[in-house]
Structure 1
């Protein structure tokens, strides 16, 4: 089905630091440095659940990776977590779904359709663990081009062929995933004004809402309080796994 060598981190523990490093390289700095839940949970989580983490190799080179998590979900849209802080278990428990946390493509391999292959492996992992669903708090990858548009409006956009406008959401949809609802706080990044200037390469001389590189919504800067707060909504989608 896939023309790749699929390696999971339980069989290849050396993948864990490589996946962690690639994650930080591909996502904006303010996500891994400003969101306390992600910053404190990511590496311990990867190490705790290695069978859910994988990489794709082509000609002995790593070209992509995926991060997934086991979760318990009651099956309702309302039961899906509102915050990313609830997506990183630290120990085994009662789980019934697999959650797709990150699809990662190394820069030299981007633009070659690997995102679909990543999702197919994630679905396979869900199936191997006996789960009936793969759920995903999708971070729409073209939303950063429209940071002032509310997410609820953006996810309604569709192309002339009827598919969703956003490329990453469209990859999910082409694999028959459905949209459940918006996740209000997929990312909550906080930092001082100086930290935000370091993370973005911008200057913030007065309080206000700022559009910064890589952000899906504006960052709220308060110079008087010496803080910046970024709250990013994501979009819950579900893949049904045939049983």
Structure 2
């Protein structure tokens, strides 16, 4: 097993990386305007903080996308816009010449073949080492609990405390806590996708004739549709955590 950065990826690994992202997230997230606008710049500006774990057979085990930012305020003041804010902040800081002092985790993905074997904790440990090597102060992540999609109408503040057999029910929240993270707060507008009725009809594969809330596979929260104003919005709640 070895670790590579984005600059080290050959065409074969790059294809595995792209496919893994498409497999890991629901279509509503893949249609994020924020992702489409900023992701290529993330990889261009910060190749050395895009971390990839590779097997001896040149298979992609998993990866973590990280953006350097400057943050010197209390963690409780981290914005509700969570994930969207984090990638925009990193890009803006870089383009403005602002020196980072923190790392922000955007996503951790373990490919299907290697799931359930503890590799996500190894990626987290690697990211913490990168933070130390860079001399940065903070390591924050707006995490996306992996079973929340089963409870789309439950508020995150209630979901995150659900327990099973005396433990936090969600395995992704549990993984981070076991790795040393502390929960800061819910970020209620972390990932946001907007579009007209035609956009949502294509994504949901239905004809929308009335306003209301709609469910989409894999989404953590409902989509709100306003037919009169030809507008729909998806607001996803995540959870800010810190490894400092």
**Could you tell me the TM-score, scaled by structure 2's length?**
0.87
Count of matched residue positions in the alignment of Structure 1 and Structure 2: 235
In 2, Cα distance between the equivalents of 1:79 and 1:167?
26
User: Are residue 185 (structure 1) and residue 184 (structure 2) matched?
Assistant: no
In 2, Cα distance between the equivalents of 1:93 and 1:20?
30
> Which segments of 5 or more consecutive residues in structure 1 lack a partner in the other structure?
none
Partner of 1:155: 160
> Which segments of 5 or more consecutive residues in structure 2 lack a partner in the other structure?
none
> Which range is displaced more, 195-204 or 123-132?
195-204
- Taking the TM superposition and a 5 Å limit, the aligned residue runs for 1:222-233 are 222-233=226-237
In 1, Cα distance between the equivalents of 2:176 and 2:202?
34
Contact 2:17–2:60 (Cα < 8 Å) also in 1? no
Deviation at 1:135, TM superposition (A): 0.8
Of the candidates 201, 217, 220, which is equivalent to residue 216 of structure 1? 220
Deviation at 1:133, TM superposition (A): 2.8
Deviation at 1:75, TM superposition (A): 4.8
Q: 1:75 to 1:158 in 2, by over 3 A?
A: farther
Partner of 1:77: 75
Of the candidates 25, 30, 35, which is equivalent to residue 27 of structure 1? 25
In 2, Cα distance between the equivalents of 1:200 and 1:25?
18
- Taking the TM superposition and a 5 Å limit, the aligned residue runs for 1:1-243 are 4-12=1-9, 19-33=17-31, 35-59=32-56, 60-83=58-81, 84-88=83-87, 89-90=90-91, 91=94, 93-161=98-166, 163-240=167-244
In 2, Cα distance between the equivalents of 1:181 and 1:23?
26
Q: 1:32 to 1:138 in 2, by over 3 A?
A: same
Contact 2:85–2:190 (Cα < 8 Å) also in 1? no
Deviation at 1:17, TM superposition (A): 6.7
Deviation at 1:112, TM superposition (A): 2.9
Q: Residue deviations 1:28-57, cap 9 Å, x none?
A: 222232x32222011111111001002111
In 2, Cα distance between the equivalents of 1:123 and 1:204?
46
In 2, Cα distance between the equivalents of 1:212 and 1:189?
13
In 1, Cα distance between the equivalents of 2:40 and 2:209?
35
Judging by fraction of residues, say which structure has more helix: 2
Q: 1:155 to 1:216 in 2, by over 3 A?
A: same
Contact 1:30–1:196 (Cα < 8 Å) also in 2? no
In 1, Cα distance between the equivalents of 2:73 and 2:178?
22
> Which range is displaced more, 148-157 or 5-14?
5-14
